[in-house]
Structure 1
Amino acid sequence: MKSNKLYDEQRIKVAQEAINGTKISFLARKYSVSPSTIANWVKFYKERFGEQATPSVSERIEDAKRVQELEDKMDTAIKLLGEKDLEIELLRELLKKTNPAYKTNLK
């Protein structure tokens, strides 16, 4: 096979990128193929997997919002986990000390 030939998986990937909104001219330069070839791959992809395989714009927007919410939740969880780890470490160090940092009245 020639080195510039793409395998079926790569062709499907390129077709998905084109369907998801990446410009065909950009993809053609990126993968060193002609724009008409990519258009044929998109047509083949749609025939093979159907129109339901391509998400609509509203579905992509909803997915992007959902991903953003999940990333925000993950950032918050990581911050809380870091704070808890720090707190645990400080408490362990206090337990190791023989003289606590405060004075007690034992009289």
Structure 2
Amino acid sequence: MRCMKSNILYDEQRIKVAQEALSGTKLSFLARKYSVSPSTITNWVKFYKERFGEESLPSVSERIDDSKRLQELETKMDTAIKLLGEKDLEIQLLRELLKKSNPAYKTNLK
């Protein structure tokens, strides 16, 4: 069973690399990125074309739309992370203030 999982993951990886190559990414860049030879990627592209056909690739406009959507999501995530960090800082400061004793508000007046 374990071999089957690794084969499935390997197939998914090959398909992903083939899609990147077919979408215009240079083979030399992909070869360095995934630590394989360019000829191996060429074979994966041939396998992908035989299995799925070239029609299964997203069009240029679909890729541009996906890229824009990804950019928007990254911007929103950066904003959310920044806001979360600010809230964490506020909470930390309030906790520190609660720990300090303020002589102007003494409760034991005699």
| Superposed pair shares fold, TM > 0.5 | yes
Q: Using the TM superposition, give the Cα deviation of residue 51 of structure 1 relative to its aligned residue in structure 2, in angstroms.
A: 3.3
| Aligned position for 2:57 | 54
Question: Number of aligned pairs?
Answer: 93
| Aligned position for 2:45 | 42
Q: Using the TM superposition, give the Cα deviation of residue 34 of structure 1 relative to its aligned residue in structure 2, in angstroms.
A: 4.3
One-letter amino acid of the structure 2 residue matched with residue 69 of structure 1: E
Q: What does the per-residue CA deviation read over 1:53-105, in whole Å, with 9 as the maximum and x for residues that have no partner?
A: 311111111111111101100110111111111111111111112216xx57x
| Aligned position for 1:86 | 89
Contact 1:28 1:34 in 2 (8 A): no
Q: TM-score, normalised by structure 2?
A: 0.63
Structure 1 runs (4+) deviating above 6 angstroms are: none
Q: Which runs of 5+ in 1 are unaligned?
A: 1-6
Q: Which runs of 5+ in 2 are unaligned?
A: 1-6, 106-110
Identity of aligned residues (%): 71
Separation in structure 2 between the aligned mates of residue 18 and residue 79 of structure 1, nearest angstrom: 35
Q: TM-score, normalised by structure 1?
A: 0.64
Contact 2:17 2:30 in 1 (8 A): no
One-letter amino acid of the structure 1 residue matched with residue 69 of structure 2: R
